Amino acid sequence: MKVVLAFSGGLDTSVCLKLLQDKYEADVVTLAVNVGQDPEKLEEIKEKAEKLGAIKHKSFDLTKEFVENYVFKSIKANGLYEGYPLSTALARYPIAVRLVKEAHKEKADAVAHGCTGKGNDQFRFDTTISLQDPDLEIIAPVRELNLTRSWEIGYAKEQGIPIPVDIDQPYSIDENLWGRSIEGGNLEDPKNEPPEEIYELTQSPSEAPDPEVIEVEFEEGIPINLNGKKMDGVSLITKLNQIAGEHGVGRIDMIEDRALGLKSRENYEAPAATVILTAHKALEKLVLTRDELKFKESVDSLWADLVYRGSWFDPLREDLDAFIDNTQERVTGQVRVKLDHGSARVVSLESPFSLHEPELVSFEEFGFDQQESTGAIKFQSLQGRIFRKRQGE
Ligand code: ARG
């Protein structure tokens, strides 16, 4: 049997690589996809795969595709799940699509991934794989064999699989250009405060430098310019991760409701995503009507739920995107954001599509005859007044 395994070089997928050979008697082709991690890691991953017995290793840098086809859509949809920027979820889709593509090229009998049976990633992988090729077998050793993390660590030691030294309970970390998630170890218990060592992209807010104002320019809902410099998506997010990270922006510690209904304690670092989504939302408030904003909020929330639960390729996601794209035609303009010891606060907004009419709202100018508003107010209470009258009858 020939299997293509999505391989990150972490504990789960390294254990899978060995198990696929030993327990499933498979020839394994490993596939590593870069979605914004340090590109040097790809070389390390390749060496590890070969050392652990892969018959072939393939790697792809999909960072640009990830940003332009997934992250940009998420920005337009204010992609937050229960308040944090979707990141792992978004990156699973291009990986799963590539996995199926390579399985076809390799004439493989199955694809494999290292997801557990408890998390959300299995929803994203399995759903996407089966939508691309319903006949392709999916092997998920950790889920099928009911493995625990400590069993995996024991097996890794026994099989000579390199694991991070000095940690008996390593965290489960997933990283891409849009964010980094840290779970497991003693973080599982919500009563434990996260130690400083879990953070890599952000500095402690209390040690951040003096506040700094940055400017992001959006064109049709997408960030195109940072501090006066035009940039492609990957460079802009990379740069902003660095600036906002230095100010301690984008640390999130929360209880999350997983697809299966399990509550889990999750930590995230998403400096650029936090700034961009905050700025984008503020700009929308300037250019969209009250009713558009209200309706879009429910669309955004549905969009995020779909993407979180593995349904990127559901037709509804595309339907929602059609509405979202139409609203974004006016989401163009400059937003200045103050980064201040962990917070990102919008301090200035400008747009050619602004619906803010200074002379109408000003305390100093006429704009319209103020007496006209009394009529509108009277009608606002019309039904209430009739109701009270009936009660009194
Ligand atoms: N809870 C987050 C999500 O579902 C993070 C998942 C992280 N995955 C991982 N293998 N560590 O998107």
Q: List binding-site positions.
A: 6-14, 84, 114, 116, 120-121, 124, 172, 181, 256, 268
Distance 348 CA to ligand 1 centre (A): 34
Residue that finishes a domain, picked among 116, 148, 172: 172
pTM of the full structure: 0.95
Q: Are residues 336 and 380 in the same domain?
A: no
Q: Which domain holds residue 276?
A: 174-350
Q: Is the pLDDT of residue 332 over 90?
A: yes
Q: Are residues 163 and 182 in the same domain?
A: no
Regarding the beta carbon of 80 and ligand 1, being less than 6 Å apart is answered no
Catalytic residue (choose from 121, 174, 300, 340): 121
Q: Are residues 77 and 185 in the same domain?
A: no
pLDDT, position 278: 98
Q: What is the CATH number of the domain that holds 295?
A: 3.90.1260.10
Measured distance CA(87)–CA(180) in Å, rounded: 7
Q: Are residues 9 and 117 in the same domain?
A: yes
Q: What's the total number of domains in the chain?
A: 3
Q: Is the pLDDT of residue 210 over 70?
A: yes
Q: Are residues 276 and 377 in the same domain?
A: no
Please confirm, yes or no, whether 130 is among the known catalytic residues. no
Regarding the beta carbon of 106 and ligand 1, being less than 6 Å apart is answered no
C-alpha dihedral, 143 to 144 to 147 to 149, nearest 10° = -30
Regarding the beta carbon of 89 and ligand 1, being less than 6 Å apart is answered yes
- pLDDT class for 168, splitting at 50, 70, 90? low
Single-letter residue type at 118 = K
- The secondary structure of residue 190, as a DSSP letter, is T
Q: Is the pLDDT of residue 73 over 70?
A: yes
Q: Are residues 188 and 287 in the same domain?
A: yes
| Nearest ligand 1 atom to alpha carbon 119 | 4
Please confirm, yes or no, whether 168 is among the known catalytic residues. no
| Distances, alpha carbon 383 to alpha carbons 69, 283, 364, 373, 389, in Å | 49, 35, 34, 18, 10
Mean pLDDT of 339-343: 98
Q: List binding-site positions for L-citrulline.
A: 84, 120, 124, 172, 181, 256, 268
Q: Are residues 189 and 103 in the same domain?
A: no
User: Of 7-16, 41-50, 238-247, 360-369, which one has max mean pLDDT?
Assistant: 238-247
- pLDDT class for 167, splitting at 50, 70, 90? low
Distance 385 CA to ligand 1 centre (A): 53
pLDDT, position 165: 53
Residue range 279-313, pLDDT digits in tens? 999 999 999 999 999 999 999 999 999 999 999 99
CB 296 within 8 A of CB 288: yes
Q: Are residues 386 and 252 in the same domain?
A: no
Q: How confident is the prediction for the chain on average, in pLDDT?
A: 95
pLDDT, position 265: 97
Residue nearest to atom 8 of ligand 1 (CA): 174
Q: Are residues 290 and 345 in the same domain?
A: yes
CB 286 within 8 A of CB 333: yes
Measured distance CA(312)–CA(79) in Å, rounded: 13
Residue nearest to atom 10 of ligand 1 (CA): 174
Mean pLDDT of 332-344: 98
Distance 88 CA to ligand 1 centre (A): 6
Mean pLDDT of 110-122: 97
pLDDT, position 164: 64
Q: Are residues 157 and 181 in the same domain?
A: no
Residue range 313-331, pLDDT digits in tens? 999 999 999 999 999 999 9
Residue that finishes a domain, picked among 172, 197, 225: 172
CB 312 within 8 A of CB 306: yes
Residues β-bridged to residue 343: 340
Please confirm, yes or no, whether 172 is among the known catalytic residues. yes
Distance 314 CA to ligand 1 centre (A): 20
Q: What is the CATH number of the domain that holds 59?
A: 3.40.50.620
Mean pLDDT of 155-167: 79
272 by Cβ neighbours in 10 Å (0-12 / 13-18 / 19+) ranks as buried
pLDDT, position 363: 81
Residue that finishes a domain, picked among 172, 202, 229: 172
pLDDT, position 162: 84
- The beta strand positions in the chain, using DSSP E, are 2-6, 27-34, 56-61, 80-81, 84-85, 110-112, 137-139, 172-176, 179-183, 212-219, 222-226, 229-230, 251-257, 263-269, 333-340, 343-350
Q: Are residues 192 and 320 in the same domain?
A: yes
Q: Are residues 200 and 168 in the same domain?
A: no
